Amino acid sequence: MTRCRPATSLALGLAGVVVGTGSGCRPSEPDRTAAPIVQTAASTSKPPFVERAQEAGIDFVWRSGHRERFLHPEILGGGVALLDADGDGRLDIYLVQGGSLESSTEHRNALFLNRGGGHFEDVSRGSGADDGGYAMGVTAGDYDNDGDPDLYVTNVGPNVLLRNDGGHFTDVTDTAGVGDPSWSSSAAFVDYDADGDLDLYVCNYLHWSPSSERDCRNAYDSPDYCGPQAYAAPAPDTLYRNDGDGRFTDVTRDLGIDQSLGNGLGVTIGDFTGDGRLDIFVANDATMNLLWVRGADGRFRDEALKRGCATDEAGQVKAGMGIGNADVDGDGDADLLVVNLQSETDSFFRNDDGLFRDETARQSLATVSRRFTRFGTGFVDIDNDGRLDLFAANGRVRRQGESFGDDPYAEPNLLYRGTSSGFMEWLPRGGTRSPLLLTSRGAAFGDLDDDGGIDVVVANRDGPTNLLWNAIEDRGHWIALRVLDEHGRDALGAAVTIRSGERTIHRDVLAAYSYCSSNDPRVHCGLGDATTIEEVLVRWVDGAEDAFGPFDADQVVVIRRPGVGEAPAGP
């Protein structure tokens, strides 16, 4: 294997930030053997999270606008995006807003800039980001390759594309042609054709309007929200191709995306089949999940059923909502978790060379969670011990059983610790001193203070947004890689292989997972006792590879793809 020269370093923020440039190395195929995981003595006595939204200046409630009628969208929003909106190197928070489906009451999306020191400032007014649609979710990505992340907001009604120019946003939906008028939920930027710009996949839930609302009743014979079966109107998702000139073309039909449909709620991206092309996985509510795989003819085909991730192992269709996406078993390919409704188990689909096997029980994920209705979720290494942990943001969609508080839909969240034998619930429940009893929906994961600890922002229906600050004192070592392409944008979809001692760790540059949310695109990796990274290998979306490193642990490293013809930078 070719050894690469070390990269340059530049301290920034709370942790050292290293800027690395590609050496242009082409190492041999990485060793896919999962090495032993290094354990750290993470404390179990103190809760891993401290809720400090108010203290940090995050004062935001996703308003459902519920009055008399039970209008279905009211129970399913909203989402969060973590992005560096103003280019200062710190993760900011974007929160979408619902409002009212029956009146013109104005509620707007909000942008909170990270001012450092754990403080955020609401700069929504005048930022151009404060769209007023009835929003469900959001995804972030630099569609115009200008180096700052743009926002795509999914609404009940036309979606909105907000172009970011140095921290100021402009609604370019009409010009771009991406105003999907459906009821959309999650969305993802993905360079599916590997042409160097981000295309856009939009999950649509069902054909719905206030006039098509149904009257449903719950177990107490009271009016309540319907399930999707009541409408029998699943909507096809939408795929937009980025034309590279600020405009998009709807290629849903041309590329076969209209050939399978469901009640889409979650979406994530990755090369799940190992063919070198990015695939799109969609979690559907009460309909089969979809795995869009692009064939040699350029068209997508839904291969979820034949690859084993359309239903659970019993062939049952569940209420797929949020998605976790990570290489949990360390074998080099991304596994998938779909979280579901109360009384249904989660579905953990272990990826075995492109074929999935439902190993929910083997991962110990078939018991605790079935008491709750799970939405936002993510595999993240909370204590940096080298094992992925799991968080789930919960809240009911119908009133049932005993209430956890005044809000009949509220439920506690769940945090699991990754162990050698699967996931064990991390108590106290939800990771906070006392459970946060809210109707949680979107959850976004990222290191908001660059201290190496993953924090979580949770959007709650008609309840305050939670900021779960990682408070574990004896976390393991870590590294965070900001992987930029030649345009300086986060290289969403690139695959990263990290070698540290005996370990080989596989992660993707990924923002789209969880539910209706967009996550820190930096690749965060817990390292346990290891203090150095020997090498980072990046496989870009177009298949080219570059190697970087070595790096010291406990810092944010910026990795930049060398431009065409550009000589590798020296140390």
Partner 1 sequence: MPRRIAPIAVVAAAVAAVVAATLAWWWMTSNRYPPPPVPEGLAAATTTAAPLIRDAVRLVESRPGDAEARYHLALVYEANDDPTRARTSLEQAILLAPDAPPAWYHLALVHEHFGALDEAIAAMERVVELAPGYAPAHRHLGQWRLDQNRIGDAEKAFQRALAANPRDVEAAVGMARIEVERNDDAAALARLEAIVNGSDPPGAGAFQLYGTILRRAGRLAEAGAAFARARADAPQTFDPWRDQLEPLRASLDGQLAYARKLLLRGRVADALTLLESLYREYPESASAAIDLAVARRALGNLDGSMALLEDAVAAFPESSNAHYNYALTRFMLSHRPDGTIDPAGLADVDAHVATAIATNPSSPLPRALQGDLHTALGENRAAAACYQQAAVADPANPSWPYQAGLALLRAGDAPGALTALSSALALSPRRPEIMVALAEALRASGRADEAASMLAAARRQSSRRPEPAGPESLPPLPWGANSSGFAPAGNRQ
Q: Whose CA is closest to 517, among 447, 456, 462, 560?
A: 456
**How far is Cα 194 from Cα 308, in angstroms, rounded to an integer?**
26
Could you tell me the smallest distance in angstroms from the CB atom of residue 288 to partner 1? Answer: 9
From the list 171-179, 306-314, 468-476, 491-499, the region that binds partner 1 by CB under 8 A is 306-314
433 binds partner 1 per the rule CB under 8 A? no
Nearer residue to partner 1 within complex by CB, 2 or 367: 367
Contact status, residue 199 vs residue 252, Cβ threshold 8 Å = no
Burial category of 230 from C-beta neighbours within 10 Å (exposed 0-12, middle 13-18, buried 19 and up): middle
- Contact string 66-105 vs partner 1 (x = CB under 8 A): ----------------------------------------
The minimum distance between CB 403 and partner 1, in angstroms, equals: 11
Strand 477-484 relative to strand 555-560, pairing: parallel
In the complex, the smallest distance separating the C-beta of residue 451 from partner 1, rounded to whole angstroms, is 35
Q: How near is the Cβ of 360 to partner 1 at its closest, in Å?
A: 8
Give the shortest CB-307-to-partner 1 separation in angstroms: 9
Among 314, 420, 564, 571, binds partner 1 (CB under 8 A): 314
Residue 390 CB, nearest approach to partner 1 (Å): 16
Phi, psi of 174 (to 5 degrees): -65, -45
**Min CB(219)–partner 1 separation in Å:** 4
| Contact map string, positions 385 to 404, toward partner 1, x by CB under 8 A | ---------------xxx--
CA–CA dist 459, 138 (Å, integer): 12
345 touches partner 1 (CB under 8 A) = yes
Q: In this chain, which of 343, 405, 531, 566 binds partner 1, going by CB under 8 A?
A: 343
Burial 457-496 (b: 16+ CB within 10 A, else e): bbbbbbbbbbbbbbbbeebbbbbbbbbbbbbbbbbbbbbb
Q: CA angle 355-360-361, nearest 5°?
A: 130
Q: How far is the CB of 430 from partner 1 (least distance, A)?
A: 16
Distance CA 39, CA 172 (A): 48
Minimum separation from the CB atom of position 312 to partner 1 (A): 8
Please count the residues of this chain forming the interface with partner 1, following the rule CB under 8 A: 32
Q: How far is the CB of 200 from partner 1 (least distance, A)?
A: 30
Q: How far is the CB of 192 from partner 1 (least distance, A)?
A: 25
Query: Which one among 8, 105, 166, 220 touches partner 1, defined by CB under 8 A?
Result: 220
Using alpha carbons only, give the angle 213, 216, 219 rounded to the nearest 5 degrees. Answer: 160
Q: How far, rounded to the nearest angstrom, does the alpha carbon of residue 484 sit from its chain's CA centroid?
A: 18
With respect to partner 1, which residue has the nearer C-beta, 252 or 342?
A: 342
Query: Interface residues for partner 1 in 160-219 (CB under 8 A)?
Result: 217-219
By beta-carbon proximity to partner 1, the closer residue of 249 and 403 is 403
Instruction: Report in angstroms how near the CB of residue 372 gets to partner 1 at its nearest.
Output: 7
Of the listed pieces 262-270, 326-334, 341-349, 528-536, which binds partner 1 according to CB under 8 A?
Answer: 341-349
Residue 2 binds partner 1, judged by CB under 8 A? no
Nearest approach in angstroms of CB 336 to partner 1 is 15
For partner 1, the closer CB: 65 or 422? 422
| Sole residue written with tokens 């976790």 | 324
d(CA 198, CA 194): 9
Answer yes or no: are the C-beta atoms of 520 and 341 closer than 8 Å: no
Quick check: 221 binds partner 1 (CB under 8 A)?
yes
Tell which one of 276, 306, 424, 474 touches partner 1 (CB under 8 A). 306
- Binding string to partner 1 for residues 351 to 370, with x set by CB under 8 A, is what? ----x-x--xxx-x-xx-xx
* 118 token code pair: 């754990």
Q: How far apart are CA 159 and CA 169, in angstroms?
A: 15
Nearest residue to 158 (alpha-carbon basis) of 140, 175, 178, 139? 178
Query: Is-contact 90 150, C-beta < 8 A?
Result: no
Among positions 32, 69, 253, 371, the unique one binding partner 1 when judged by CB under 8 A: 371
**Dihedral-angle region of residue 330 (phi above 0 means left; psi in -120 to 50 means alpha; beta otherwise):** left
> Rule CB under 8 A: is residue 230 a binding residue for partner 1?
no
Nearer to partner 1, 306 or 433 (CB): 306
- Decide: is 259 part of the binding site for partner 1 (CB under 8 A): no
Site membership for partner 1, residue 377 (CB under 8 A): no
Using the minimum distance from each CB to partner 1, give the nearer residue, 214 or 371: 371
Is 315 a residue that touches partner 1 (CB under 8 A)? yes
Q: Smallest distance, Å, CB 39 to partner 1?
A: 21
- Binding piece for partner 1, criterion CB under 8 A, among 229-237, 312-320, 469-477, 483-491: 312-320
- Footprint on residues 536-555 left by partner 1 (CB under 8 A): none
Q: Which residues contact 16 (CB under 8 A, 6 or more apart)?
A: 9, 552, 554, 555, 556
Mapping DSSP to helix (H, G, I), strand (E, B) and coil, where does residue 174 land? helix
Cβ-contact 261, 237 below 8 angstroms? yes
State how far the Cα of 538 lies from the Cα of 379, in Å rounded to an integer: 21
Q: Which of 334, 376, 302 is nearest to 81 (CA)?
A: 376
Q: How many CA atoms lie within 13 A of 204 on its CB side?
A: 23
Q: By CB under 8 A, name the one of 313, 462, 486, 529 that touches partner 1.
A: 313
Q: Which of 308, 378, 430, 476 binds partner 1 (CB under 8 A)?
A: 308
Nearest to 532 by CA among 554, 507, 553, 516: 553
Q: Which residue, among 341, 190, 328, has the nearest Cα to 257 in the 3D structure?
A: 190
DSSP lists the bridge partners of residue 419 as 422
* Contacts to partner 1 by CB under 8 A: 217-221, 305-306, 308, 311, 313-316, 342-343, 345, 355, 357, 360-362, 364, 366-367, 369-372, 400-402, 422
